[in-house]
Amino acid sequence: MGPYNGGAAHCGLDINMKAGTVLTAPISFDTHYLFNSVAAGFNNNRWRGVRHWPDGSEWWLQSHHLIRMLVPERTTLAAGTPYATTAGVMVGAHEHTHFVFRIHEQGGDYLLDPWILFWEIFRCQRKKAAR
């Protein structure tokens, strides 16, 4: 969540990974799509998964630097489904994926540290492995 290149707000979390790494959905999404893409003239492939909650709030999880989508866009996406290969478009000096976690609720838009989701995923995996 810190500065990018020492200045601009980064607004996310970069995780180093090899180009071609497969990303899987950490939760189920009501829809998902590329909101920027190289094919549309942008310099990067940026994906967004959207989850609508009964109270009207929305969670947006974004991943950037995708190489290729593995499933059709604008469809539901179940937790655990592989959705894209990553870490190969506009990555700079190091292959990585950039993650963003946003919540829209009660008229506000809030950026949260994506590490919150990763920590919970890792914790659940450790519990399953200990059984």
The domain limits of the chain are: 11-130
- pLDDT for residue 123: 87
At 124, is the pLDDT very low, low, confident or very high (cuts 50, 70, 90)? confident
Q: Which of 7 and 65 is assigned the larger pLDDT? A: 65
**Residue 38 clears pLDDT 50, i.e. is over it:** yes
The mean of the pLDDT values for the chain is 90
Q: Which of 27 and 115 is assigned the larger pLDDT? A: 27
Q: Which of 66 and 112 is assigned the larger pLDDT? A: 66
- pLDDT for residue 78: 98
Give the global pTM. 0.84
* Strand intervals (E) in 1-131: 3-4, 8-9, 13-16, 21-24, 31-36, 46-52, 58-64, 66-69, 82-86, 96-105, 108-112
What value does the mean pLDDT take over residues 31-50? Answer: 97
- How many Å from the N-terminal Cα to the C-terminal Cα in the chain? 34
- pLDDT for residue 1: 41
- pLDDT for residue 44: 96
Q: Classify 11-130 by CATH class.
A: mainly beta
- pLDDT for residue 50: 98
At 108, is the pLDDT very low, low, confident or very high (cuts 50, 70, 90)? very high
Q: Are 74 and 31 in contact (CB under 8 A)?
A: yes
- pLDDT for residue 116: 79
